[in-house]
Amino acid sequence: MAILYALVARGTVVLSEFTATSTNASTIAKQILEKVPGNDDSNVSYSQDRYVFHVKRTDGLTVLCMAEETAGRRIPFAFLEDIHQRFVRTYGRAVHTAQAYAMNEEFSRVLSQQIEYYSNDPNADRINRIKGEMNQVRGVMIENIDKVLDRGERLELLVDKTANMQGNTFRFRKQARRFRSNVWWRNCKLTVLLILLLLVIIYIAVAFLCHGPTLPSCI
């Protein structure tokens, strides 16, 4: 298994823990809790022989796991983030006042299930790799936006160009309507002229038939 041990703590007070194998990881983990510097949010890792203790501290809550060195960092820290979210979502503000091991009976089962999932299910790594790629894309997008926002002149020029494009679009539509109207009137005039021409031709034909030399009379 890639992840062998995990705990959730407030400061040095362990609220829940689970170990997937016989080990003294719990003792070492508690020593690490006492030595983690400062109270700020942080992500740190400590090497111990062939194993690494990964620690994530967020909003005064510390989530720690021991994993094999070959597991790298992406999977363990994805596991820690998942555990942190589940713990806060389940217990809310109670995490700030709970006694030692107050949530262990219930939440240790969650630790066991998630250790199993992140250690053995290939989808865990695939999903986290996708999440990582999405975060990279989001970071690039934010960086690009910040570059534009830092240049007020360029942003203003972009707005001006947009306004000009809108004005050009309005003028184009107006010209298109005028063109269609002109074409319609021209077609109407042409139709009237054709009708008049046809009437003239019919009149001439009738007159010729009525007054021609070959016909004695017109009924």
Binned at pLDDT 50, 70 and 90, residue 209 comes out as confident
DSSP label at residue 151: -
Binned at pLDDT 50, 70 and 90, residue 109 comes out as very high
Dihedral of CA atoms 200, 206, 210, 212 in degrees, nearest 10, equals 70
Cα–Cα dist 195/124, whole Å: 80
Binned at pLDDT 50, 70 and 90, residue 203 comes out as confident
Q: What percent of the chain has a predicted confidence (pLDDT) above 70?
A: 71
Phi then psi dihedrals of residue 63, to 5 deg: -120, 130
Q: What is the pLDDT of residues 134-173, one digit of tens each?
A: 454 444 443 443 443 344 443 333 334 444 455 555 555 6
- Is residue 102 over pLDDT 80? yes
Q: What is the pLDDT of residue 215?
A: 47
Question: What pairing do the DSSP bridges indicate for beta strands 51-58 and 61-68?
Answer: antiparallel
- C-alpha pair distances (Å), 110 with each of 63, 101, 180, 193, 212: 13, 14, 71, 89, 113
Q: Where are the domains of the chain?
A: 3-164, 166-218
Do 58 and 41 meet the contact criterion of CB atoms below 8 Å apart? yes
Among 69, 70, 58, 46, residue whose Cα is nearest residue 10: 58
Give the residues across from 9 on adjacent strands: 14, 62
Question: Helix (H, G, I), strand (E, B), or coil: what is residue 201?
Answer: helix
Q: What is the pLDDT of residue 185?
A: 85
Binned at pLDDT 50, 70 and 90, residue 130 comes out as low
Do 57 and 38 meet the contact criterion of CB atoms below 8 Å apart? no
- Is residue 112 over pLDDT 50? yes
- CATH number, span 3-164: 3.30.450.50
Give the residues across from 17 on adjacent strands: 7
Which residues fall within 8 angstroms of residue 73, CB to CB, at 6 or more apart?
45, 54
Q: What percent of the chain has a predicted confidence (pLDDT) above 90?
A: 30
Residue of 39 and 169 predicted with greater confidence: 39
Q: What is the pLDDT of residue 161?
A: 45
